Amino acid sequence: MSKKVALIALSIVLVAALVGGATMAWFTNSAASDPVEFTAGTVLIEAGSSSIASQYFDPVDGIFVYGEIGNSGDLYEIDVKNQVENRIFENPKTYSGYYPNGLAFDEVNDRLYFAANKNDLYYYDFSADELVNAGKFPQTGKDVYGATFGGGYFWYVPNDTADLYKVTFDNEGKIAGSSHVTMTENTGLQFGDIVIDYAGGIIYGSSTSFYFTYDTVTGEFKNLGRAGRDLQLAWGHDGVLYGHNTTSRNWYSVVPDTGTPAKLFTGEYDYNDLAPGSKSYWNPGDCAWAKFNVKNVGTKNSYVRLLLGGKWQEKTDDGWVDWPPPAGDDMVTFTSAGASWIAEGGYLYYNAVLEPGEIAELSLSVCFSTDAGNDFQGKRFVVTGGLEAIQT
């Protein structure tokens, strides 16, 4: 199937079926304990904390970019339209200084590259849900804060230089080679961030002192003044350039050719760097990860289970309406990752007691069948589910 299929995972809804007074004998702490009635509202699922929300969306519904938190390395997905910030990846490593940084997203291969330190480039693989070491930077010993991805290349400017590097990769996403040019005689650029309009060959950059553009074809460098300086930058899929100031946590829309910012809102977190959100289409046979956090907000231990389902929708003049797929086959499968959740009888069971304040992460591999036909073109699939719990 040559055409792509839009799957709008922004519309993922997990409806908490928290029915007061329900008792389930199998949901007890031990064989000797008695079941305790469940009180509604003591288990919370954070809908929308999904690593695929930005991959399948309509800009009418939301506009997404990625942001990386310093030291922890946790990855967030920011809906700049609705002013929502969700953590989608809890980094198992720890970092120092202004790292991770140099965030750049490879849409084709679902790889989010970042500098772990002055020397090492890593990427987060959305398809495999794992971190991968991509190799050493061609110039080591310089901080990497300003980076972007375009045309299959990782572009970056080592801090305190004016050298623009273009890095190539092998099939596994590892560094294969590089080349570089000096953009300007002002060699002391401090970042900030850069983005690229690859079709036009233009680098847009925000240093701590001024905003600039660089034409990769003609070699022309323009210092455009202090408007738009000291920002992290990322394109939205609505064609707008967005900026974030790490210190103030303010978000802006930015005029690319001038750097002129217009404040949108003040966010919750301070991000070391930004990258564009993922592409909005899915091909048959593709899989992606969806993550959800189930939190016990009550005062007693609980067991939880989840019943997953879903439905297709199509867009009409009246908005999104339910669409029954041909032959009743929705062509979508879910698989939980890791041993924390066990599938049985149509449910996913969390295999441990969820203590008060504890959060259980549920990672799902959501796959679209290779057998899907053109009937699914332009449709979206909405994940639904019922969450049940019992206190012990």
CA distance 358 to 239: 40
Choosing from 276, 296, 318, the residue where a domain stops is 276
Same domain, 251 and 353: no
> Would you state the pLDDT for residue 329?
78
Same domain, 154 and 262: yes
What number of other Cβ atoms are within 10 A of residue 177's Cβ? Answer: 10
Same domain, 260 and 356: no
The domain of 359 spans 9-50+281-391
User: Among 39-53, 242-256, 342-356, 378-392, which stretch is predicted with the lowest mean pLDDT?
Assistant: 39-53
Same domain, 92 and 205: yes
Same domain, 44 and 147: no
- Residue that wins the pLDDT comparison between 47 and 247: 247
Same domain, 250 and 354: no
Q: Nearest 5°: CA angle at 191, between 188 and 194?
A: 110
pTM of the predicted model as reported, rounded to 2 decimal places: 0.64
What pLDDT digit, counting tens, does each position of 257-307 carry?
A: 999 999 999 999 999 999 987 654 566 777 766 666 677 777 778 888 887
Same domain, 136 and 33: no
Considering the domain boundaries, does residue 228 fall inside one?
yes
HSE of 207, CA atoms in CB hemisphere, 13 A: 24
Span 80-91, average pLDDT = 87
| Percent of the chain predicted with pLDDT > 90 | 40
Do the beta carbons of residue 34 and residue 23 sit within 8 Å? no
Considering the domain boundaries, does residue 24 fall inside one?
yes
Domains of the chain: total: 2
> Would you state the pLDDT for residue 53?
35
> Would you state the pLDDT for residue 366?
75
Same domain, 198 and 123: yes
CATH code for the domain in which residue 247 is found: 2.120.10.30
Considering the domain boundaries, does residue 2 fall inside one?
no
Helices within 150-233 (DSSP H only)? none
Same domain, 320 and 336: yes
Same domain, 266 and 296: no
CATH code for the domain in which residue 358 is found: 2.60.40
Same domain, 326 and 229: no
Choosing from 252, 276, 300, the residue where a domain stops is 276
- Residue that wins the pLDDT comparison between 76 and 50: 76
- Residue that wins the pLDDT comparison between 150 and 11: 150
Is the confidence at residue 226, as pLDDT, over 50? yes
Do the beta carbons of residue 145 and residue 104 sit within 8 Å? no
Is the confidence at residue 245, as pLDDT, over 90? yes
* Average pLDDT in the chain: 79
What pLDDT digit, counting tens, does each position of 166-196 carry?
A: 999 999 999 999 999 999 988 789 999 999 9
Same domain, 255 and 171: yes
